[in-house]
Structure 1
Amino acid sequence: MVLWGHSDDPDRSNRSNRSTESPHRQDREDHSAPHRYEEPTERSRLLPGINQGYLSPDDPAISPYNLWSVRALRGVSIIALVLSFIWWIFLLVSIFVSPSMIHPRGSGFFAFAYTTLATGYLVLGLLFFAVPSKPMTISGIILAILLLIDMIIILAVPRLRLEEGWVGIGSVVWVTLISVYQVTQNRAVTWGKREEEERLTGREETRRSLLEWIAVFAETILLATMAIAALLFTATLILRSTDAGLAAPGERYLVNGDSYQVHLVCVGEKTTTANQTVPTILLEGGEGPVEHTLQPFIDDMRLRGSINRYCYWDRPGFGWSDNAPSPHSAGMSADALAEALALAGETGPWVAVSAGVGSLHSRLFASRHLLEVRGIFMIDPLHEAYLGDLGRPGRGFMLWLRGVLSPLGLDRLAGAIVRGRTRQDRVVGQSAYQSGKFIKAKLQESLVAGTMTAAEMESARHVQMGHVPAVVVSSGRRVKRDRKWEERQEDLSHFTDNLLAWDVADDAPHEVWMTARGRELLERRLKELVRKCQEDVASD
Structure 2
Amino acid sequence: MQLWGRKSTGPPDPQNGEEDRHVPEQRFEEPTERSRLLPADRNEGFLSPDDPAVSPYNLWGVRAVRGVSLVALALSFIWWTFLLVSIFVSPPMIHPRGSGFFAFAYTTLATGYLVLGLLFFVVPNKSMAIWAITLAALLLVDMFIILAVPRIRLEEGWVGIASVVWVALISIYQALQNRAVAWGKREEEQRLTGREETRRSLLEWSAVLAETILLAAMAIAAVMFTATLILRAFDAGLEPPGKRYSVHGDTYQVHLACVGNKTADTNAPTILLEGGNGPVEHTLQPFIDDVYGRGGIDRYCYWDRPGFGWSDNAPSPHSAGMSADVLAEALALAGETGPWIVVSAGVGSLHSRLFASRNLLEVRGIFMIDPLHEAYLGDLGRPGRGFLLWLRGIVSPLGLDRLAGALLRGRSRQDRVMGRAAYQSGKYIKAKLQESLVAVTMTAAEIQSSRHIQMGHAPVVVVSSGQEVRKNSQWAERQEDLSHITDNLLSWDIADDAPHQVWNTGQGREILERRLKELVQKSQT
The partner residue of 2:483 within 467, 475, 493 is 493
Q: How does 1:325-340 map to 2 (within 5 A)?
A: 325-340=315-330
**Aligned-partner residue type, residue 225 of structure 1:** A
Cα distance in 2, alignment partners of residues 204 and 152 from structure 1: 42
2:131 is aligned, of 111, 114, 139, to 139
Question: Does the CA-based 8 Å contact 2:310-2:417 persist in structure 1?
Answer: yes
For residue 87 of structure 2, give the secondary structure of its aligned residue in structure 1: helix
1:457 aligns with 2:447: yes
Does the alignment pair 1:85 with 2:77? yes
Amino acid at match of 1:434: Q
Match for 1:364: what amino acid?
A: L
Shift of 1:140: 1.1
1:389 is aligned to 379
CA distance 1:531–1:212, shift in 2 (3 Å): same
Paired with 1:281 and 1:478, the residues of 2 have a C-alpha distance of: 26
Q: Among residues 245, 255, 258, which one is paired with 1:266 in the alignment?
A: 258
Partner of 2:167: 175
Q: 521, 527, 530: which is aligned to 2:520? A: 530
Give 1:354's match in structure 2, choosing from 318, 338, 344.
344
Q: Does 1:304 align with 2:283?
A: no
The 5 A counterparts of 1:225-240 are: 225-240=217-232
| 1:30 alignment partner in structure 2 | none
Aligned mates of 1:80, 1:379 — CA distance in 2: 54
1:61 counterpart letter in structure 2: A
CA distance in 1, matches of 2:44, 2:323: 79
- For residues 149-228 of structure 1, the aligned pairs below 5 Å read 149-228=141-220
Q: Which amino acid aligns with 2:150?
A: P
CA distance in 1, matches of 2:126, 2:524: 77
CA deviation profile, 1:449-503 (whole Å, cap 9, x unmatched):
0000000001001114311011000000000010110110010011111111000
**1:289-300 → structure 2 map (5 Å cutoff):** 289-300=279-290
Distance in 2 between the 1:483 and 1:277 partners?
40
Match of 1:468 in 2: 458
Tell me the equivalent position of 2:274. Answer: 284
Q: Which runs of 4+ in 1 moved over 3 A?
A: 1-4
In structure 1, C-alpha distance between the alignment counterparts of 2:180 and 2:311, rounded to whole Å: 48
TM-score (norm 1): 0.89
Report the 3-state secondary structure (helix = DSSP H, G, I; strand = E; otherwise coil) of the residue aligned with 1:311: strand
Shift of 1:137: 1.1
Q: Is 1:407 equivalent to 2:429 in the alignment?
A: no
State which of 109, 117, 121 in structure 1 corresponds to 2:113: 121
Contact 1:270-1:277 within 8 A present in 2 as well: no
SS at match of 2:368: strand
- Within 5 Å, give how 1:64-103 maps onto structure 2: 64-103=56-95
- Following superposition, the deviation at residue 336 of structure 1 comes to 0.2
Corresponding position: 1:345 with 2:335: yes
Equivalent position of 1:419 in the other structure: 409
What residue is the counterpart of 1:39 in the other structure? none
Q: Give the conservation status (yes or no) of the 8 Å contact 1:279–1:351.
A: yes
Q: Is the 8 A contact 1:328 1:448 kept in 2?
A: yes
Shift of 1:534: 1.7
Instruction: Report deviation, 1:133.
Output: 1.0
Tell me, in whole angstroms, the C-alpha distance in 2 between the residues paired with 1:83 and 1:364: 43
Q: Distance in 2 between matches of 1:168 and 1:511?
A: 37
Matching residue's letter, 1:305? G
The answer as to 2:392 corresponding to 1:434 is no
- CA–CA separation in structure 2 for the residues paired with 1:60 and 1:136: 24
Aligned partner (choices 240, 243, 251) of residue 248 of structure 1: 240
SS of the equivalent of 1:96 reads: coil
Inter-partner Cα distance in structure 2 for 1:276 and 1:347: 9
Q: Give the whole-Å Cα distance in 2 for the aligned partners of 1:86 and 1:415.
A: 36
Amino acid in structure 2 at the alignment position of 1:471: V
Q: Which amino acid is the alignment partner of residue 84 of structure 1?
A: S
Q: Which structure 2 segments of 5+ residues have no match?
A: 1-13, 20-37
Question: How many residues are matched?
Answer: 491
1:513 aligned residue: 503
Deviations 1:418-442 (A, max 9, x none): 0000111000001000000000000
Structure 2 Cα separation of the partners of residues 460 and 467 of structure 1: 14
Please tell me whether the aligned partners of residues 55 and 200 of structure 1 are also in contact (alpha carbons under 8 angstroms): yes
- Following TM superposition, by how much is the alpha carbon of 1:276 offset from its aligned partner in structure 2, in angstroms? 3.9
The Cα offsets for residues 376-422 of structure 1, whole Å up to 9 and x where unpaired, read as: 00000000000011000000000000000000000000000000001
Structure 1 pair 389–500 and aligned structure 2 pair: CA distance change class (3 A): same
Aligned partners of 2:356 and 2:454 also within 8 Å = no
C-alpha separation in 2, matches of 1:256 and 1:119? 33
Q: Contact conserved, 2:266 with 2:339, CA < 8 A, in 1?
A: no
Distance in 2 (CA, whole Å) between partners of 1:296 and 1:271 is 23
Conserved in 1, the CA contact under 8 Å of 2:386 and 2:436? yes
**Post-superposition offset of 1:207:** 1.0
Point out the more displaced range, 346-355 or 197-206: 197-206
The structural deviation recorded for 1:164 is: 0.4
Amino acid at match of 2:195: R
Give the one of 96, 99, 106 matched to 2:98: 106
Deviations 1:343-375 (A, max 9, x none): 000000000000000000000000000000000
| Structure 1 position 67, deviation (Å) | 1.0
Instruction: Name the SS of the counterpart of 2:272 in structure 1.
Output: strand
Mapped to 2, the partners of 1:464 and 1:358 lie a distance apart of: 17
Residues in 2 aligned to 1:348 and 1:229: alpha-carbon distance in whole angstroms: 49
Q: What displacement does 1:3 show?
A: 8.2
Give the drift of 1:121.
0.2
Give the aligned residue type for 2:131: S
CA distance in 1, matches of 2:454, 2:428: 33
TM-score (norm 2): 0.92
Q: Does the Cα contact within 8 Å between 1:263 and 1:321 map onto a contact in 2?
A: yes
Alignment counterpart, residue 63 of structure 1, candidates 55, 66, 73: 55
Ranges in structure 1 where 5+ consecutive residues have no aligned partner: 5-21, 27-50, 536-540
Q: CA deviation at 1:271?
A: 2.3
Find the counterpart in structure 2 of residue 7 from structure 1: none
Answering whether residue 469 of structure 2 is matched by residue 479 of structure 1, we say yes
**In structure 1, how many angstroms separate the alpha carbons of the residues matched to 2:173 and 2:338?**
59
